[in-house]
């Protein structure tokens, strides 16, 4: 594997990172991150208080240059979960913005306040901007081998305590290079996003991805439709977002010509972390002429599949396996499903250079996660004749066995969202003596409406099939979601 960020060696004046009104060129980032890498090179692991800032980006790049595993920490994390992560990962140092008050479990650790302009000649101006002079030449340390741990990202903990996913340098390079191929990603691209920086999507794809290409990141700090319109209407060429963001963009694009024009002018709009409802695909296409492509990945695997930039496939698929990634579907008995009929549902298993090394301190969980050399994703999907995968839900929460049928919750949710009286929808199963499981719909009605359960059942039956209609309907003011906009289905029944 070559070095992760070859563009840092060039010390160029091209902008690498911009967070609102603060920016660093590649030369400045090399100086800043290189100086910090010198200070932390002897550490075992470093925790990074991962606010969506220039400081977090510099901290993670510095850790990667130093060969010290970084543990990004969600700034909104709860006390109990934080204590577990700090105890489990045992960082010897924490990197944070100056003057940030850290909670208990981190506050007791040695700390370095990250100065994004450290090592840059003249430092920052009074306006907290980098000076226009280029930094002194920095001798960056030699990077460790491909299998060395790069980051340890903790899972969301929906099925127990969060697990530390040890991601090697090899996986980061393999995924980002595969996406270069799939998305025709170049150094000329300017990526716009407003995602958090404590997980794979926002940090590895959104920050490290452009840096590996030698391109530019414009981070919004906080997502807003105004920010997207401004950045894509300017230099931005690509947008990364999650479904909740695209839902807002879809709702406004039809009435906001500036936003519609900006979205329509983007080279690539990418949605991930959860399935994007077909209604939002359709609204954005109608308002802007642009399509949104989806990709499929996990913390443990980084990216597995993606809709290619030159693929005009139907919306709702997550594309084909990325270069170097092998994927397969297996049934409940573990038998490989050969069918490409677009209907047969199976669990996705993957293998390739994109996989993690282990769950930190959990050899039992690591062994359980694999079927031979194949990682069990727990995600259920179908595969069409072109080899494109369509995710239908999680095995644990989204596969409903009702009346002898295996039904994916995702297709019912999409059907419900096509009803004009439905603003948001989630579908689960619950025990039923006759059917095994009955389909339950959780609905946030559109303003001023309240479609009846019978109306919704008939709508789904007409769109899909009678056996896929919801038998029970609950009405809510909002669906419970995590920081990435994923619906917390276990919380619905609770």
CATH of the domain at 481: 3.30.300.30
Q: In this predicted structure, what is the pLDDT of residue 133? A: 46
36: enclosing H helix or E strand: helix 26-40
What's the helix, strand, coil split of the chain in %, to 5?
A: 30, 25, 40
Any idea which of 262-266, 275-279, 475-479 has the lowest mean pLDDT?
Answer: 275-279
- Does any domain span residue 357? no
- Assigned domain for 487 exists: yes
Give the CA angle between residues 381, 382, 385 to the nearest 5°. Answer: 150
Q: What is the CA radius of gyration of the chain?
A: 23
Q: Mean of the pLDDT values across residues 253-281?
A: 93
pLDDT, residue 131, reads: 43
For residues 388 and 133, the model is more confident at 388
Distance CA 405, CA 464 (A): 13
Task: Identify whether 414 is part of a domain.
Answer: yes
Of 15, 41, 29, 47, the C-alpha closest to 115 is 29
Domain that holds residue 487: 399-493
Please report whether residue 158 resides in a domain.
Answer: no
Residue 163's DSSP bridge partners are none
Distances (CA, A) of 155 to 13, 29, 219, 224: 37, 29, 24, 26
Residue 154 lies in a domain: no
Are 297 and 284 contacting, i.e. CB atoms less than 8 angstroms apart?
no
How many CB atoms are closer than 10 A to CB 394?
20
- Asked, for residue 85, whether it belongs to a domain, the answer is no
pLDDT of residue 490: 74
* 77 falls within a domain: no
Indicate whether 211 belongs to any domain.
no
| pLDDT the model gives residue 130 | 45
- How confident is the model over 26-80, as pLDDT tens digits? 999 999 999 999 999 999 999 999 999 999 999 999 999 999 999 999 998 888 8
pLDDT digits over 218-255, tens only?
999 999 999 999 999 999 999 999 988 998 999 999 99
Q: Decide if 370 contacts 392 (C-beta within 8 A).
A: no
pLDDT of residue 126 exceeding 50, the answer is: no
CA distance 395 to 374: 16
Task: Tell me what the pLDDT averaged over the chain comes to.
Answer: 90
| Cβ atoms within 10 Å of 235's Cβ, excluding its own | 13
Domain count along the chain: 1
């Amino acid at each position: 594997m070559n070095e992760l960020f070859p563009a840092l060696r060039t010390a160029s004046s091209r902008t690498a990172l911009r967070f609102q009104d603060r920016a660093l060129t590649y030369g400045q980032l090399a100086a800043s991150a290189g100086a910090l890498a010198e200070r932390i090179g002897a550490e075992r692991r470093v925790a990074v208080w991962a606010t969506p800032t220039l400081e977090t980006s510099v901290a993670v790049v510095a850790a990667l240059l130093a060969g010290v595993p970084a543990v990004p920490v969600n700034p909104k994390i709860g006390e109990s979960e934080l204590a577990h992560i700090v105890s489990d990962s045992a960082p010897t140092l924490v990197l944070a913005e100056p003057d940030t008050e850290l909670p208990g479990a981190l506050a007791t650790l040695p700390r370095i306040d990250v100065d994004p302009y450290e090592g840059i000649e003249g430092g920052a101006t009074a306006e907290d901007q980098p000076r226009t002079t280029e930094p002194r030449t920095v001798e960056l340390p030699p990077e460790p081998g491909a299998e060395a741990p790069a980051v340890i990202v903790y899972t969301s903990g929906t099925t127990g305590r969060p697990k530390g996913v040890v991601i090697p340098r090899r996986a980061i390079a393999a995924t980002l290079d595969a996406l270069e191929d799939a998305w025709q990603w170049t150094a000329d691209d300017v990526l716009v996003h407003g995602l958090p920086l404590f997980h794979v999507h926002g940090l590895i794809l959104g920050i490290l991805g452009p840096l590996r290409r030698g391109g530019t990141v414009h981070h919004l700090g906080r997502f807003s439709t105004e920010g997207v319109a401004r950045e894509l209407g300017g230099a931005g060429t690509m947008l990364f977002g999650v479904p909740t963001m695209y839902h807002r963009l879809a709702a406004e694009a039809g009435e906001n010509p500036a936003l519609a024009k900006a979205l329509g002018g983007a080279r690539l709009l990418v949605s991930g972390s959860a399935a994007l409802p077909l209604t939002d695909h359709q609204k954005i296409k109608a308002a802007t002429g642009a399509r949104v492509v989806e990709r499929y990945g996990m913390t443990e695997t980084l990216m597995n599949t993606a809709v290619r930039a030159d693929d005009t496939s139907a919306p709702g698929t997550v594309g084909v396996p990325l270069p170097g990634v092998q994927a397969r579907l297996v049934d409940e008995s573990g038998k490989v499903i050969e069918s490409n009929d677009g209907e047969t549902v199976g669990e996705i298993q993957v293998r390739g250079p994109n996989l993690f090394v282990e769950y930190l301190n959990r050899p039992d969980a690591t062994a359980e996660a694999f079927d031979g050399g194949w990682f069990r994703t727990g995600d259920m999907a179908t595969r069409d004749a072109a080899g494109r995968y369509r995710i239908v839900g999680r095995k644990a929460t989204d596969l409903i066995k009702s009346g002898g049928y295996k039904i994916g919750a995702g297709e019912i949710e999409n059907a419900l969202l096509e009803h004009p009286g439905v603003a948001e929808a989630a579908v689960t199963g619950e025990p039923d003596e006759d059917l095994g499981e009955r389909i339950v719909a959780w609905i946030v009605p559109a303003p001023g409406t309240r479609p009846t359960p019978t109306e919704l059942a008939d709508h789904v039956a007409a769109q899909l099939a009678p056996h896929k209609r919801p038998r029970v309907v609950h009405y809510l003011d909002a669906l419970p979601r995590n920081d990435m906009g994923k619906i917390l289905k276990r919380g619905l029944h609770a």
